[in-house]
C-alpha cells in the first residue's frame, strides 16, 4: 500500500514538473516573440543613406538592444546597447531601456541629453538590481551628413572611410555606463560623413566571440572583415560579419549576444530596415 502511494505521488510530481516545463517553454517563446517584434518595429525612410540593424541572442532571448527613432528636425536617433547579464533578466532590463530611450528621445535635443535622461530614469532600478547598461547614442543628420554621438561605456563605432580606404574608431568620447553614477553628464562629439562612408555600431559579442581554442575574434579581425566588404550594402556587410564570426568560431555556441547597426551614406537613396536574426547554428 505504501509503495503504491509513493509511486502515485511520484507520478503526480513528474506530471506537475512536465506541465511546469511546458508552461516555462511557452512563456520563454512568448518573451522571445515580444522581443523580436520590438526590435523589428516599423522603420522610417530618409534621404541620404541606409541603415540596418541585426541582433542574435546567445540564448533564446537576449539583453542586447538597438533602436531607431526619427526626430521632428529630420534627424535619425540611433542607439545600441548591452545590458549586463544574460537571458530573461537581461531581456527584461532591455525592455526598460527601450522605454527609457523612446521617452528621452521625444524630449531631448542631443545624444548626450538622451543618455543623461536615460540614466536619471533607470539609475534607481539598476542599482536595486545591481546591473548596468552600456549605450552608444547617435544622431544622423541626412541634410548635413553629420553624425553626432555620445557614449555611456560602450564600444566606439567603427568609421569606414570610402575615399581613404581605412577603418578606425570614431574620435573618442568618454562616458560612464547607465546606472553607474547618479546625475552623470555626457558629451557630444561629431564627425562629417561623405558619400559611401559607413559607420559600424556593435556590441562586444562580436569581438569576444570564442573559437574552440578559446581565442577571441578580436577587433583587428572585425576591422579586416569590414575593409574587405566595405563596398557592399548594409545588409551584405552584416551578413559578411556574421559569416566571418561563424567561420572563426566554427559554429560554436556563444556566451554573449551579437548585435550590430550599419549606417551607410548614399547621396542617391535611403532606406531604414531592421533585422532580428535567429540563433546562429
Residue-wise pLDDT tens digits, 25-63: 665 665 555 555 566 555 556 778 899 998 888 766 677
Residue 104 in this model has a pLDDT that exceeds 90: yes
Domain ranges, ordered by start, for the chain: 1-39, 40-276
**pTM of the entire predicted model:** 0.84
Looking at the DSSP bridge assignments, the partners of residue 201 are 261
Residue 6, pLDDT score? 52
Residue 30, pLDDT score? 59
Query: What whole-number distance in Å separates Cα of residue 145 and Cα of residue 154?
Result: 23
Count CB-CB contacts under 10 A for residue 193. 24
Yes or no: say if 91 and 180 are a contact pair by the CB < 8 Å rule.
no
Residue 238 φ/ψ, nearest 5 degrees: -60, -50
Query: What whole-number distance in Å separates Cα of residue 22 and Cα of residue 32?
Result: 15
CATH number 3.30.413.10 is the correct assignment for the domain at 40-276: no
Least confident of 90-94, 117-121, 185-189: 90-94
pLDDT confidence of 199, banded at 50, 70, 90?
very high
Residue 2, pLDDT score? 53
Residue 91, pLDDT score? 79
β-strands 271-276, 49-56: how paired? parallel
Residue 275 in this model has a pLDDT that exceeds 70: no
Least confident of 82-91, 185-194, 238-247: 82-91
Query: What whole-number distance in Å separates Cα of residue 123 and Cα of residue 129?
Result: 10
**Closest of 207, 201, 266 to residue 233, by C-alpha:** 266
Chain CA centroid to CA 162, Å? 25
10 versus 211: which is more confidently predicted?
A: 211
Residue 260 φ/ψ, nearest 5 degrees: -150, 155
Query: What whole-number distance in Å separates Cα of residue 223 and Cα of residue 203?
Result: 14
Residues 6 or more apart whose Cβ sits within 8 Å of residue 242: 54, 56, 258, 277, 280
Residue 42, pLDDT score? 56
For 115-170, the pLDDT digits (tens) are 999 999 999 999 998 999 999 999 999 999 999 999 999 999 999 999 888 999 99
Residue 280, pLDDT score? 37
Residue 48, pLDDT score? 81
Residue 107 in this model has a pLDDT that exceeds 70: yes
Chain mean pLDDT for the chain: 85
Q: Quick one: which H or E segment has residue 9?
A: helix 2-39
Amino acid at each position: 500500500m505504501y509503495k503504491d502511494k509513493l509511486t502515485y505521488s511520484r507520478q503526480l510530481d513528474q506530471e506537475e514538473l512536465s506541465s511546469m516545463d511546458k508552461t516555462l517553454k511557452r512563456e520563454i517563446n512568448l518573451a522571445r516573440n515580444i522581443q523580436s517584434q520590438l526590435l523589428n518595429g516599423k522603420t522610417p525612410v530618409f534621404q541620404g543613406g541606409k541603415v540596418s540593424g541585426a541582433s542574435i541572442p546567445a540564448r533564446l532571448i537576449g539583453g542586447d538592444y538597438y533602436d531607431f527613432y526619427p526626430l521632428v528636425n529630420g534627424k535619425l536617433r540611433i542607439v545600441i546597447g548591452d545590458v549586463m547579464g544574460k537571458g530573461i533578466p537581461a531581456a527584461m532590463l532591455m525592455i526598460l531601456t527601450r522605454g527609457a530611450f523612446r521617452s528621452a528621445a521625444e524630449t531631448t535635443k542631443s545624444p548626450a541629453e538622451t543618455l543623461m535622461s536615460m540614466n536619471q530614469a533607470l539609475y534607481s532600478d539598476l542599482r536595486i538590481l545591481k546591473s548596468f547598461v552600456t549605450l552608444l547614442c547617435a544622431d544622423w543628420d541626412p541634410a548635413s551628413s553629420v553624425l553626432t554621438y555620445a557614449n555611456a561605456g560602450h564600444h566606439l563605432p567603427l568609421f569606414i572611410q570610402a575615399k581613404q580606404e581605412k577603418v578606425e574608431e570614431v574620435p573618442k568620447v568618454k562616458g560612464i555606463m547607465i546606472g553607474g553614477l547618479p546625475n552623470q553628464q555626457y558629451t557630444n562629439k561629431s564627425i562629417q560623413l561623405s558619400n559611401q562612408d559607413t559607420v559600424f555600431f556593435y556590441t562586444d559579442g562580436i569581438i569576444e566571440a570564442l573559437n574552440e581554442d578559446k581565442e577571441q575574434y578580436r577587433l583587428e579581425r572585425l576591422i579586416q572583415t569590414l575593409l574587405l566588404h566595405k563596398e557592399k550594402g548594409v545588409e551584405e556587410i552584416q551578413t559578411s560579419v556574421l559569416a566571418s564570426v561563424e567561420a572563426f568560431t566554427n559554429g560554436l555556441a556563444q556566451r554573449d549576444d551579437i548585435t550590430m547597426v550599419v549606417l551607410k551614406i548614399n547621396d542617391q537613396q535611403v532606406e531604414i530596415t531592421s533585422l532580428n536574426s535567429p540563433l546562429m547554428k
